[in-house]
Structure 1
Amino acid sequence: MQRRMTAVGFLAACMAVSGFAQEFRGTITGRVTDAQSASIPNAKIVATLVNTGGKSQTVTGSDGLYTIPFLAPGIYKLEAEASGFKRYVRDGVEVNAGDRVGIDIGLSLGQLTETITVTAEASMLDTTSATAGQVINSAQVENLPMNGRTPLVLAQLAMGVVPNSDPKFNRPFDNAGPSGFSMGGAPSQQNELLVDGAPDTTWDLRVSYNPPVDAVQEVRVHAFEADAAYGHTGGGTANVIMRSGSNAIHGSLYEFNQVSALQATNFFTNKAGQIKPVGRYNQWGGTAGGPLWVPKVFNGKNKVFWFFAMEEINDSFPEPQTLMVPTATQRTGDLSSLLKVGANYQVYDPLTGVLNGSRITRTPFTGNIIPTNRLSAIAKNYLNYYPLPNQAGAPDGTNNYLSPAVRKDTYNSEMGRLDFNLGSNNKMFWNFRHNDRIEDRNDLFSNAAAGRDLLRINWGSTLDDVHTFNGTTVGNIRLNFSRFREATVSFGDGVNATALGFPAYVAAAAPKLVLPLVRFSSTTAGTDYQQITSDTDSNRPFNIFQVFGDIVKIKGNHSLKIGGDAREARDSNQGYGSSQGVYTFSTNWTRGPLDNSTAAPVGQDLAAFLLGMPTSGSFDINGLRTNTAKYMALFVQDDWRVRSNLTLNLGLRFEHEFSNVERYNRALNGFDSTTASPIAAAAQAAYTLKPDVIPASQFRVLGGPTFASSANRAIYSPQSEMFSPRVGFAWTPFGTKTVLRGGGGVFMFPINNPSYNVDGFSQSTSMIVTTDSYLTPKATLGNPFPDGFQQPTGSSLGIATNLGKSFNYYNPDIHNPYSIRWELGIQREMPGGTVLELAYIGNHAVHLLLNRNMDAVPAKYLSTSPVRDQATIDYLSALVPNPFAGLIPTSASLNGSTISRQSLLTPFPQFTGITLQASNAASSYFHSLDVRVEKRYSHGLSILSNFTYSKLIARDNYKNATDLAPEKRVAGDDRPLRFVLSGSYQLPFGKGKHFDTHSGIGNRIVGGWVINSIYTNQIGAPLTFGNNLIYLGGPLNSNAHPGNLDAPIFDVTRFNTNSAQQLASNIATFGSRYGNLRQDGADNVDLSLLKDTAITERVKLQFRFEAFNALNRPNFDTPKSTIDNPTSSAFGKITTQPNLPRSIQMGLRLAW
């Protein structure tokens, strides 16, 4: 097997391979005949790209068929010559990305010196392929309204595409938002995203590089691909095609602004009577391109072309936060002001604790004043980070500070491209792309105490060459590299804990110097003092290397393509965690007079901080994870023109995804469930002395994690190979105005870059602040870890790693998920340059990934009662003798003298939880009816509309951890009805229009106005309920768009909301999703009004006025976490608006 895989891999490499780089150019194909419809062999066919003069040519075969592949998107002049016939010329042939443009040519007898020029528009039908999708053309990309001007968002206009991401975050520097859509029933964000055919994704398939609008020629979106060259995705493909230079100098300069004064206010901001935040959004940039020309040295006309684009965005959005900070007197230890609020604010002295029976008693600080000699020097240094209160707040100081925090983004993007026409037989291009974003957020105090920078930096480059070997053979090879880096840098970065007064050993052991985190945890929600430092540092660069290549051979009526693709992805992930410690202060030390007395609402946690006495804390030493993933594929495709009205697309793709490996073998690679634990004998002996439910003879302590090694580096062992057949047809049985198309195939989902476990190579040391339940302190801020830090053990402990802890492991026997997809449709060309398409698309996805709890309490011990079963709860939560006492590391749980009974009943009681990542247990079914109407631009009007009626059902959730199969339910991506309509209309005013003022000045004022619009109507996502709800019966009616938004969106009287009667330790039976209970759907109108003014013959100035969510319709969110908590007063209620209120944008664009 190894020898075979090595041979296949070598063959793939030799054939030029890449994991994601699929073909983005188009093809012109057809038949050349004479007046009697007889085929003309050996006719010369030449396609010339008008703006560059680049020529591609072929000759017809014995049957008169021709195919010209690898044509860059654009407008072509098509010429045909044959001895004894007049020369044929057809202008204005438009080739879009991925198109197979069918043009049959009829030649007339005559001399080659005679020319017949054809001017007919190309058919809007796709008569050569079963592929289902849409091309968003350059006019639509340039003119349709987009909030943020991110071209990939226009993929949402296409057939089979359902957006399901947060609509607010679709700016060019956003990664999840623009790519958050489902295609053809595949899971969201599981699509192939490309730029000029090269991969454009992060490690989790978010989009990485969003080019500027003015640098994009078109966006190709396909929900179903019949071509086997497309793979490594079970979803659809979206290919953003970049502009290139031409023989003429072209370019643009633009600036767009959104001003707060013109923006509407969020629904809930209005509802609360709050003031609208004042933000800004400024986006500017430019493009330029033309032939490469060096005076008196080189004239690149028709040969070499350049193009460059850049863009910059600066935005700010207020995120004010109301906080609590210590007052000036409190910083001296004087908390006497709190006693004026109430006696329950008394602070007690932790050093006066006395054991009285089973309780600890303490005496109060006189007057609520802590002596200054008791104040921690470290705490006093931390207090310097706090500003003084700037508003009155509550009497106890709650909400006494308003932080004017502002979220800021700085973004810049650049891309460049060189195109080379190296004769009629060779064409090459090279591009580079770069962007970087810095988001400044949570800067509460304008110092190191809070806030962080989020960095996202992307680099990429592609080198592509197309070579024509002869009139019937063309090859392509492409090399691509991309690097996406995401990092967070805390504002506390570089602060040495020693400078704050911590012992030197803290900074000496820290992997990275970051201001140690201080947290407060009172017992009353919303009354905590603001913590110091909330963000930790991280760094994650992700690199993709790939090669792609294929060869197209025309053989009679067959267009044969063979090729391969391969890639290597390298992912390096470093999260530093609390690298100088996190220290939490609560009321455990300072409440009284008894240790179980009700804590003060405010103050006792602050007093513990001033005394330097944490309640808990930890110190992290996190390992670096560096994994490598490889993929390879081979494919063969035959586009067979069986007859003049029937084309078959036949393909086969072989794919293999190798297991991820960690560069230094620092990873778990499985779970050994049968080997006895090193503590098994001792634990079984202890259990035998005091057995519980399980008979002593049956009590087992088995299992533990396994690790990668030099002998077994694989994190998992995927299936060795997968064949993905494709078949499609395009048939025109009723003439040239109607085409029937259909097809099916198998599509493999990549496993990508799993977040596998590196336990053992990271270590967190917990503070042991006391050994006698807060009677006497063992560790303080001044000496937080007197016993030192636990060091990572690596794999040295074997299956004893993680004893007393929970962990997860990646499925060692994972299979690549795949989808079986099919499509059947009809296209009809209508009068007025309009096409109507009806299509049925189906998708059955299997082996989808789903996590599973492997250490749950067996079902036989759980209650089957539909109501709370207190007897079972008490039985399972009862404390029993702990057989693991003294056998588990002291830093973990399960080491006390007692343990809950339910912990002993789990399959692996020495651990607190085990999760199997990526079991292949999930699946889904999808069916949809799609209707597309598209009108080509004429008489000032163009229209594109898509309607989808669909159903998506999934098995993707274990209602109970012990269930044998996942729950069948409505999928989270299910949107049964979706309608999207976009269009452009040039107002009939001005010179040459219906309403011509016949005045130069008048025409300049009223002429050149264009209205563009996108209307979206979509049913919302299904609500997801928690597993422990008590359903009382009756219909679950939806209160859609209630008149009073303070009311729940569904009938909450159907649930038991009594906090004393909620389920625990029960087998759940209530379904988690219902098709009639959904969040608010989208009902949105975006508008743009453009005015073009000609300055000179080549220079045009455009004014744009755009309104996003023009009708200011709020798209209400789900009830979020309250849908899981029926005892909450907010159960079922909406409190947020995910979409933006109406935004007005104005801009100027100068183009030449």
Structure 2
Amino acid sequence: MSPRRFASLLVALALALASAAPLWAQSQAINGSIEGLVRDGTGAPVPGATVTVTNTDTGEQRSLTTDSDGRYRAVLLSLGAYRVKAELKGFKTIERTGFTLRAGQTAVIDLTMEVGGVEEVVTVSGEAPVADPGKIDLGRTIGEAEVRNLPLIARNPFNFAFLQPNVTGYENEEFGVPRINANGTQMHTNYQIDGNTNTEKDRAGLRLLPASEIMVREVKLITSGFAPEFGQTTGMVYNAVTPSGTNDLRGSASYRFRRKQMSARPFFLSPTAPKPDTHADDYTATLGGPIVKDKAFFYGGYEHVAKDLSADRVIAVKPADASRLGLSSTAIPSSGVIPASQTVDFFLGKTDYQIAPEHKFSARYFFFKNESPFNINVLGPGGSPNTVDQGTDFHDRMDSVAGQLISSFGPNRLNELRLQFARRHQSRTASDGAGTGPAIAVSGIAVFGGPVAQVSDAGFDFSQKIWQVLDNFTVLHGRHSFKTGFDVQYVDDFRRNNLFQLYTFPTVDAYLAAKNGTNPRSYTNFQQLIGNPEVAYHSTFLSLFVQDDLRVSPRFKVLFGVRYDLFKIPDARPFAANPLSSSFKVDKNNFAPRAGFSWTLDSSARTVLRASSGIMYEPPLINFYEDAIQRNGDPRTLTATQNPTSAGAPAFPATLNDLPPGFARPLQSIVAMDADFSTQYTVLSNVQLERALTSDFSVSVGYVNSLGRNMPVLIDTNLIPTGQTLADGRPIFSTAVSSATRVNPAFNHTDTFRSVGKGTYNALTLTINKRMSHGVQAQASYTLAKGTDDAPLTGTYVVGSQDDRLSDPTNIDRDKGVTPFNQTHTFVLSGLIQPKVSRGGLGAALLNNNQLGFIAQANSGLPFNIRANRDLNLDGVTNDRPIGIDRNTGRLGRVLNVDARYVRFIPFGRVRGELFVEAKNIF
């Protein structure tokens, strides 16, 4: 079935469900709820009262009637400031104002009605309780004030993930992907925008679309206590919620800049090289407001960023070697750095339309373009220093269009439909001034020549397209809020690798001999990829859930249900000589029961106990299957590796047009999926106790446990031990291939993905939350944690992983150790300070209209593997650990980092100017 027909079928199905009391539902990923009890002065419930919930930003209203217990509940509400009003004959009208609803929040607003005339109005102002009695999950919402005012030099809101407890890793300095690790997992994050998927499916840790401040109103983070509607991760859900227009016309424009005088000198830069330029220029503009008051609204945002990224791209080629090699001033510029830069454009357009009282529609379009010339690393093939000759321009374009329709069928039945199409296309071309011809590596000295040394160099092309349909249906019945829903994602992938050409020389003299024609075959070897480098495939992800949010009593709430995930992975490419390539197993047994509760322990709602437990499934990484398709023993491409004496070996700098005459296809090493490969999952549990010390200050302590099962491990299942062992017991294998050394001697190595890994994560957390009052808002958290597993995966499949292959393919227990991002102590403090002096005079002039935003992080160092940089037991892994050294036993130093943003506000009537300065890593 084609993607177009598939999408049409899903849209038709979803529309039919939306109009005919559907059976399934998603949830309030981008909306919120308001619920509570209406009582009289004696504490007795008030049934039959009319409760009107009004969004004071947009005029949106919802009217409800309290049930026999005096209970009301409004779900799928837009975000913003609200007013709740209760009316009943014989009682004074009561209004509650002054609180703001955030994404995923259930605001508990209880009302007490006094006897009197309905025309008499009693108004009470104030936020919902700081110890949230409606919350079950372990997470936080980073509100609009924090998004706008916390220091964020990178302009990358994904870096805010590190403000959440149980999260380790490191930030991204530009608009790339930070290395986010939650609950001890490696990069397992479910990225979302407005509740729609924003997760790239091929490798762990990748988001599909980047984010910018102009497209993010607030961020919802969840790491535990997931309701059944959330899934497809064993780590974190990161949901970026886009802004919307309101009845007030509001806009902004800004300019930010950075110059090299504002940055420290790179640590490894040669003392004689000038300090590299680190300039950055950033322009933003936003505008939102009403099209028709109380009915239709618009929002638009644009951002343009230009950055110099050369500061950490120091060229490590020695001047004397560069001179002997005859490298040009283009290949080795006088600046001493690779002239890497980046130009980025964001655009977001959004509209919200109240079609009728029972139907609301929202639509958005998002566009991103990244042009990054000379986007290469400092080191090239074999760890030799790169030169500018190897420069490739990275082109990255992403866009998405999405819509949401909320419909009500009476006061107690609501449906939400979401649709999305998202795509990413990235490619690499040779940079201006890059080298030509084949790539050349002089071992340990320099890499130069044409930028075609690796499969990801010039000529690389990748695209991923996702069609998504979600639908939910909610039924409110007494104390129950039933929800049921589905999420279908159709994923289309295409990849084209570069047909690389690489000469490797042992010394400068050997290269010069080939260059001047004295010995055109003085190279160590020549490698060229030949064949069809393209692959295309598709997959489908399906999720179903049903849940009940039950208010057992005014102080005890339970949420329970079950989720089902089905991941239809790409089809196999069978090859008769490889039985494992005949088909890929589709695991159909992914049922995930979950339950949690929130218990308010006192009548003043100051102490709340929360606990939850449930199963979370992790989607299989599509790159597993891509590699199994590509490397099934019948390769579409072959690497011709020629020694100087090989038949048909080219004379430098010639390349091959086809496989050389008499070329014998080398014995293949294959990648396979285990016939019983099952979906990875965790049993995730937590308990949290929160105590409100004041109306705006709370402290919580908690415990988190994660038990990982079916974790994927790449195991060479073709090796037969020789009977000899290393001193630490690791078996020694043979590089010779025969029936005595290989299970199937038709292949050399058979790297098989098996779901046999296990992991454990335990953490204690302490969180202090200070809601904005008296000019101060802050949140601090400390996590004491330990994560262990026996399932190492390399950076080929987990972005940023420094893990290695198994050290012993016969015994995975030998690789049990702390996880790659295990951090024993993690502390983070963030906040805003806005001093305000009510009296006039010098003090008011100096202190008012100032703001300080800050983020402070302190943590123990991350672990790393100590490597021997050789294959000790001849299993094909060339970076074995030394004898007696366990996995991830090295430890980096402690880290302390403080970022700050100072703002001086300058009011001009209805317009407010801001002069601000941001600084990163102050100390």
TM-score, normalising length: structure 1? 0.70
* Change in 2 beyond 3 A, CA 1:452/1:602: closer
- Report what 2:297 is aligned to: 305
Tell me which residue corresponds to 2:891. Answer: 1078
| Alpha carbons of structure 1 residues 802 and 49: separation in structure 2 relative to 1, 3 Å | farther
1:1108 aligns with 2:920: yes
How many angstroms does 1:530 deviate by? 5.4
CA separation of 1:12/1:861 partners in 2, compared to 1, >3 Å: closer, same or farther? farther
Q: How does 1:127-526 map to 2 (within 5 A)?
A: 127-162=133-168, 164-165=169-170, 167=171, 169-171=172-174, 173-174=175-176, 176-177=177-178, 180-185=179-184, 187-203=185-201, 204=203, 205-269=205-269, 275-292=274-291, 300-318=292-310, 319=313, 321=315, 323=317, 388=328, 405-441=338-374, 450-491=390-431, 516-521=437-442, 525-526=444-445
- Determine if the alignment matches structure 1 residue 38 to structure 2 residue 44: yes
Identity %: 21
In structure 2, how many angstroms separate the alpha carbons of the residues matched to 1:765 and 1:838?
A: 56
2:103 matched to 1:63? no
| Matched residue type, 1:748 | Y
Q: Describe the shift of the 1:807–1:515 C-alpha distance in structure 2 as closer, same or farther (beyond 3 A).
A: farther
Going from structure 1 to structure 2, the CA distance change for 1:562 and 1:806 (only over 3 Å counts) comes to same
Q: CA deviation at 1:727?
A: 0.7
Q: What's the CA shift for 1:466? A: 0.9
Q: Distance in 2 between matches of 1:787 and 1:118?
A: 81
Secondary structure of the 1:140 match is helix
Deviates more, 1:839-848 or 1:260-269: 260-269
Change (3 A) 1:46 1:433: same
Contact 2:29 2:239 in 1 (8 A): no
Q: How far apart are residue 808 of structure 1 and its match? A: 1.2
Q: SS of the residue aligned with 2:891?
A: coil
Contact 1:1027 1:1072 in 2 (8 A): no
For the residue of structure 2 that corresponds to 1:470, the secondary structure is coil
**Cα distance in structure 1, aligned partners of 2:578 and 2:422:** 38
Between 29-38 and 316-325, the greater mean CA deviation after superposition = 316-325
Deviation at 1:827, TM superposition (A): 0.9
Q: How far does the alpha carbon of each residue in 1:867-926 deviate from its partner, in whole angstroms, 9 at most, with x for none?
A: 999xx99xx67xxxxxxxxxxxxxxxxxxxxxx47895222333232211x311211111
The residue type paired with residue 1009 of structure 1 is N
2:592 aligns with 724
Deviation of 1:488 (Å): 1.3
Are residues 1:954 and 2:789 paired? yes
Q: Does 1:540 align with 2:462?
A: yes
Q: Is the 8 A contact 2:499 2:533 kept in 1?
A: no
- Cα distance change on mapping 1:14 and 1:955 into 2, 3 Å: farther
Match of 1:907 among 724, 743, 752: 743
Structure 2 distance, partners of 1:821, 1:1065, is 34
Corresponding residue of 2:490 = 568
* Higher Rg: 1
- Structure 1 residue 761 displacement after superposition: 5.3
1:820 to 676, 683, 692: 683
In structure 2, distance between residues paired with 1:9 and 1:389: 57
Please give the per-residue CA displacement for 1:323-380, whole angstroms capped at 9, x wherever unaligned. 589999x9xxxxxxx9xxxxxxxxxxxxxxxxxxxxxxxxxxxxxxxxxxxxxxxxxx
The 1-side partners of 2:474 and 2:36 are apart by: 16
Equivalent of 1:763 in 637, 646, 662: 637
Cross-structure match for 1:945: 780
Counterparts of 2:287 and 2:679, CA distance in 1: 44
Contact 2:761–2:787 (8 Å) recurs in 1: yes
Q: Is the 8 A contact 1:18 1:547 kept in 2?
A: no
| Structure 2 SS opposite 1:948 | strand
The answer as to whether partners of 1:521 and 1:605 remain within 8 angstroms in 2 is no
| Rounded Cα–Cα distance in structure 1 between residues aligned with 2:471 and 2:450 | 55
> Per the alignment, in what secondary structure is the counterpart of residue 139 of structure 1?
helix
The verdict on how the C-alpha distance between 1:492 and 1:808 changes in structure 2, with shifts beyond 3 A counting, is farther
Cα distance in 2 between the residues matched to 1:978 and 1:939: 28
1 or 2, which has the higher strand percentage?
A: 2
Q: Which amino acid aligns with 2:556?
A: L
| Alpha-carbon separation, structure 2, partners of 1:723 and 1:1066 | 38
- The one-character-per-residue Cα deviations of 1:639-680 (angstroms, maximum 9, x if unpaired) are 11111111111111122222323xxxxx5468x7xxxxxxxx
What is aligned with 1:982? 830
In 2, are the aligned partners of 1:282 and 1:315 still within 8 Å (CA)?
yes
Q: CA deviation at 1:833?
A: 1.4
Deviates more, 1:1082-1091 or 1:54-63: 54-63
Deviation of 1:1067 (Å) = 11
What displacement does 1:449 show?
A: 5.4
**Structure 1's 19 and 769: CA in aligned 2 closer, same or farther, altered over 3 A?**
farther
Over residues 844-880 of structure 1, what are the superposed CA-to-partner deviations in whole Å (9 max), with x where a residue is unaligned? 010011111122241x4223445999xx99xx67xxx
What is the aligned partner in structure 2 of residue 1042 from structure 1? none
Report the CA distance between 1:289 and its aligned residue: 0.6
**Residue in 2 that maps onto 1:553:** 475
Distance 1:750 1:306 in 2: 36
Tell me the CA shift for residue 536 of structure 1.
2.8
Does the 8 A contact of 1:852 with 1:919 survive in 2? yes
What letter matches 2:887 in structure 1? R
Q: Give the letter for the 1:749 counterpart.
A: E
SS in 1 for 2:528: strand
Structure-1 separation of matches of 2:768 and 2:545: 34
Write the distance in 2 (CA, Å) between the matches of 1:764 and 1:515.
23
Query: Deviation digits for residues 203-226 of structure 1, max 9, x if unmatched?
Result: 334123333324422111111134
Deviations 1:798-825 (A, max 9, x none): xxx9761222123343211011011111
Deviation at 1:959, TM superposition (A): 2.7
Structure 1 unpaired stretches of 5+: 1-6, 293-299, 331-337, 339-382, 392-398, 496-513, 588-597, 662-666, 673-702, 709-713, 793-800, 878-899, 1032-1062, 1112-1152
- Map residues 887-906 of structure 1 onto 2, 5 A cutoff: 900=736, 905-906=741-742
Contact 2:25/2:472 (CA < 8 Å) preserved in 1? no
- More displaced 10-residue stretch of structure 1: 801-810 or 406-415: 801-810
Q: 1:76–1:94: 8 Å Cα contact kept in structure 2?
A: yes
Contact 1:612 1:782 in 2 (8 A): no
Q: Is the 8 A contact 1:131 1:224 kept in 2?
A: yes
What is the SS of the residue equivalent to 2:782?
strand
Looking at structure 2, the residues matched to 832 and 462 of structure 1 have their Cα atoms a distance apart, in angstroms, of 39
- Cα distance in 1 for residues equivalent to 2:518 and 2:112: 89
Residue range with higher mean Cα deviation, 283-292 or 10-19: 10-19
Give how far 1:932 is off: 0.8
Partner in structure 1 of residue 515 of structure 2: 606
Residues 1093-1134 of structure 1: per-residue CA shift (max 9 Å, x gap): 1011x10001111211112xxxxxxxxxxxxxxxxxxxxxxx
In the TM superposition, residue 53 of structure 1 has moved relative to its aligned partner by 0.7
Q: What SS class does the counterpart of residue 93 from structure 1 fall into?
A: strand
> Structure 1's 784 and 655: CA in aligned 2 closer, same or farther, altered over 3 A?
closer
In the alignment, the residues of structure 1 paired with residue 107 and residue 346 of structure 2 have an alpha-carbon distance, to the nearest angstrom, of 34
Query: Are 1:1093 and 2:892 matched, yes or no?
Result: no
Superposition CA RMSD, Å: 3.8
The reply on whether 1:997 has 2:841 as its aligned counterpart is yes
* 8 Å contact kept, 1:629–1:752: no
- Structure 2 length normalisation: TM-score? 0.86
Give the Cα separation in 1 of the matches to 2:528 and 2:466: 36
1:1025 matched to which residue of 2?
A: 866
SS in 1 for 2:865: coil
2-structure distance, mates of 1:315, 1:1011: 25
Distance 2:739 2:882 in 1: 20
AA of the residue aligned to 1:931: L
For the Cα contact (< 8 Å) 2:225–2:611, is it kept in 1?
no
Q: Is the Cα–Cα contact under 8 Å of residues 583 and 616 in structure 1 kept in the other structure?
A: yes
- Mark the CA change 1:291 to 1:975 in structure 2 (over 3 Å): closer, same or farther: same
